[in-house]
Amino acid sequence: MSTVNRKQAFTFLKKALENFNFAQKSENCQNEAQTKKFLIDPFFSLLNYAHDQLIPEYEADFGDRVSNKVDYAIQLTKKDLIIIECKKLTSKLTDKEAGQLSGYFQHAKNSRIAILTNGKEYRFYSDVALPNTMDAKPFFVFDIENYSDRDVEELLDFDARLIKVQEIISKAQELVFIENFEHTFFKEMTNPSKEFLKLIHKNMSFKTKYNEESMKALMNSSLFKSLTDKIILHEIKSNSKSAGIITTDEEIQAYHTIRTLLIQNKKIPNERIGYRDQKGTFNILIDDNQRKTICQLKFTDNSKKIIIDNGDFILENLDDLLKFKNQLTEKTLGLLE
Which CATH number fits the domain that encloses residue 12? 3.90.1570.30
Q: Where is the domain boundary, 137, 163, 189? A: 163
Long-range contacts of 6-15 (CB under 8 A, 24+ apart): 6/156, 6/162, 7/310, 9/156, 9/159, 9/161, 9/162, 10/152, 10/153, 10/156, 10/310, 11/310, 13/46, 13/47, 13/152, 13/155, 13/156, 13/159, 14/149, 14/152
Please give the pLDDT value at position 235. 67
Please give the pLDDT value at position 60. 66
Q: Do 205 and 305 share a domain, yes or no?
A: no
Please give the pLDDT value at position 241. 55
Asked if residue 234 is part of any domain, the answer here is: no
**CA–CA distance, 175 with 154 (Å, rounded to integer):** 13
Asked if residue 232 is part of any domain, the answer here is: no
Q: Where is the domain boundary, 99, 132, 163? A: 163
Q: Do 63 and 156 share a domain, yes or no?
A: yes
Q: Do 204 and 81 share a domain, yes or no?
A: no
Q: What is the pLDDT along the chain (337 residues), one digit of tens a residue?
A: 457 888 899 999 999 999 999 999 999 899 999 999 999 999 999 999 988 888 998 876 555 555 568 899 998 887 888 999 999 999 999 888 898 888 888 887 778 899 999 999 999 999 988 888 899 899 999 999 988 888 999 999 999 999 999 999 998 888 888 888 888 988 888 888 989 988 888 888 776 777 888 888 888 877 887 787 777 767 666 665 555 567 788 898 899 999 999 999 989 988 889 988 877 789 999 988 888 999 999 998 888 999 998 788 999 999 999 999 999 999 999 998 7
Asked if residue 199 is part of any domain, the answer here is: yes
Q: Do 289 and 325 share a domain, yes or no?
A: yes
Q: Do 120 and 206 share a domain, yes or no?
A: no
Asked if residue 210 is part of any domain, the answer here is: yes
Q: Do 13 and 124 share a domain, yes or no?
A: yes
From the list 277, 291, 271, the residue with the least C-alpha distance to 233 is: 277
Domains held by the chain: number? 3
Do residues 89 and 122 touch, judged by C-beta distance below 8 A?
Answer: no
**CA–CA distance, 176 with 129 (Å, rounded to integer):** 8
Asked if residue 309 is part of any domain, the answer here is: yes
| 176 secondary structure, DSSP code | H
Q: Do 141 and 278 share a domain, yes or no?
A: no
Q: Which domain holds residue 95?
A: 6-163
Please give the pLDDT value at position 1. 45
Q: Do 148 and 41 share a domain, yes or no?
A: yes
Alpha carbon 156 to chain centroid distance? 12
Q: Do 30 and 99 share a domain, yes or no?
A: yes
DSSP secondary structure string for all residues of 61-113 = S-TT-TT--EEEEEE-SSS-EEEEEE--TTPPP-HHHHHHHHHHHHHSTTEEE
What's the whole-model pTM score? 0.64
> Which residues are CB-contacts of 214 (< 8 A; sequence separation ≥ 6)?
none
CA distances from 149 to 4, 121, 131 (A): 19, 16, 31
Asked if residue 224 is part of any domain, the answer here is: no
- Beta-strand (E) ranges in the chain? 54-58, 70-75, 81-86, 111-117, 121-125, 140-143, 273-278, 281-286, 293-299, 304-308, 311-314
Q: Do 268 and 215 share a domain, yes or no?
A: no
**CA–CA distance, 133 with 290 (Å, rounded to integer):** 29
Q: Do 39 and 100 share a domain, yes or no?
A: yes
Count of other CB atoms within 10 angstroms of residue 141: 15
Distance separating the N- and C-terminal Cα atoms of the chain: 35
**CA–CA distance, 301 with 320 (Å, rounded to integer):** 17
Asked if residue 90 is part of any domain, the answer here is: yes
Asked if residue 202 is part of any domain, the answer here is: yes
- Amino acid residing at 196: F
Q: Do 147 and 252 share a domain, yes or no?
A: no
